[in-house]
Amino acid sequence: MLWSLPVNNPWLIFCLLFSVLTPGWSIEKTWIDILHGTLVNQQELLKDLSQSRIIYLGEVHTLKTHHKAQLDILRLLYSRGVPLALALESLDAQDQKLVNQFAEGHLSFEQFAKLIQWQKKWPNYLDYRPLCLFAQKHRIPIIGIDIQPSIPSKIARSGYSSLTEKEKKLYPLPSLSPLYKNFLTPFLAVHSFMDDKRIAHAIEAQRVREAFMAKQIMNFLESPLGIHRTVCVVTGEIHVRYGLGIPQFSRRYPQRLILFGSKEPIKLTPKELQASKKIDLSHQKFSFIRSPVADYFEVIQE
């Protein structure tokens, strides 16, 4: 540990440290242990991560700096001899047979992407190419964890009650706490077409999706291939912040949550801008959440 702050609120520590780490600082790869309010070096970070079974690597999907940081973590853990697996939100679980063929070297990235129609499902799929190629090269298993798109789409349109009994058995809806609803609502309200009913349906869809993704991770960890591995889960940070999404369903395994900083601007398409509205996503808006936003945060110096 390099130094500590006499502040008891971990989220406040995060905000303070994020605000003071300016380009004038010469610190490279600065990791913040949010639980303790300390700066840790790379070796301290990796020592802790190496003892986990699940490492959530949150991202803003379109930020290239986030994808680079994720690959850095994967490389560092691999170099320490940690037996790894890579789980991607951007890959559907229903495509796992093809995912396995790629991971085992039987398909090129281009062949694989074409077969699963990845560009159609995930427009920035090329951002995941370096991660996938690294895993393929080093025989790291890759897991597709996302649900088939038709299910969350159906729930988002008409609510969970619109699913058939068979679908409900396959895709159960866990309980929705007020804390979870209050966290997620502002992020959904950014869409101009969202009213209270649509937000309620979207929250159900998100919860079903997160529970499904967690199940895929847990199933792998309990399989012969995964029983001794650590899974690096690459997913949107909204699914893991404060441990309220996917991590809630995987707590029986030691897990860590990492978020990344970036100076890279988030770019919206004209269509996305037209469908969005300004909302309050300030610190105060989420001050009701008492748990830390993550275990570690990386401030990226560019």
Q: Give residue 302's pLDDT band: very low, low, confident or very high (50, 70, 90).
A: low
Q: Which pLDDT score, from 0 to 100, does residue 84 have?
A: 98
- Whether 1 is in a domain gets the answer no
- Whether 77 is in a domain gets the answer yes
Range of lowest pLDDT (61-65, 140-144, 223-227): 61-65
- Whether 3 is in a domain gets the answer no
For the chain, the maximum distance between any two Cα atoms, rounded to a whole number of angstroms, is 59
Distance from C-alpha of 202 to C-alpha of 272, rounded to nearest angstrom: 18
DSSP character for 260?
Answer: E
* Parent domain of 192: 10-299
Q: What is the rounded average pLDDT for all residues in the chain?
A: 88
- Percent of the chain topping pLDDT 70: 88
The residue ranking higher by pLDDT, 108 or 13, is 108
Q: Which pLDDT score, from 0 to 100, does residue 8 have?
A: 40
- Which segment, 148-157, 181-190, 255-264, is predicted with the most confidence on average? 148-157
Q: Give residue 17's pLDDT band: very low, low, confident or very high (50, 70, 90).
A: very low
Q: Give residue 21's pLDDT band: very low, low, confident or very high (50, 70, 90).
A: very low
Q: Is 31 helix (H, G, I), strand (E, B) or coil?
A: strand
CA 71 to chain centre: 14
Q: Is 285 helix (H, G, I), strand (E, B) or coil?
A: helix
What are the C-alpha distances in Å from 187 to residues 27, 44, 71, 138, 237? 32, 33, 27, 37, 12
How many Cβ atoms from other residues are within 10 Å of residue 13's Cβ?
23
In the block, residue with structure tokens 């850095």: 72
For residue 119, the domain's CATH number is 3.40.50.11550
List the alpha helices (DSSP H) in the chain: 10-20, 42-49, 64-79, 96-103, 109-115, 118-121, 129-137, 150-158, 165-170, 178-188, 196-221, 270-274
- Whether 264 is in a domain gets the answer yes
In the block, residue with structure tokens 């502040």: 7
pTM of the model: 0.87
Q: Does residue 2 surpass a pLDDT of 70?
A: no
How many Cβ atoms from other residues are within 10 Å of residue 192's Cβ?
10
Q: What confidence tens digit (pLDDT) does each residue in 245-280 have?
A: 999 999 999 999 999 988 888 776 777 666 677 777
Rounded to an integer, the average pLDDT of 236-243 is 96
- Whether 4 is in a domain gets the answer no
Q: What confidence tens digit (pLDDT) does each residue in 53-111 have?
A: 999 999 999 999 999 999 999 999 999 999 999 999 999 999 999 999 999 999 999 99
Distance from C-alpha of 25 to C-alpha of 39, rounded to nearest angstrom: 14
- Are 61 and 53 in contact, with CB atoms under 8 Å apart? no
Six-digit token string for 123: 């427009």
- Are 263 and 211 in contact, with CB atoms under 8 Å apart? no
Count of structural domains, the chain: 1
- Whether 2 is in a domain gets the answer no
Range of lowest pLDDT (132-136, 206-210, 251-255, 296-300): 296-300
Beta bridge partners of 84: 230
Six-digit token string for 279: 């909302």
Q: Give residue 299's pLDDT band: very low, low, confident or very high (50, 70, 90).
A: confident
Q: Give residue 15's pLDDT band: very low, low, confident or very high (50, 70, 90).
A: very low
φ, ψ for residue 212, nearest 5 deg: -65, -45
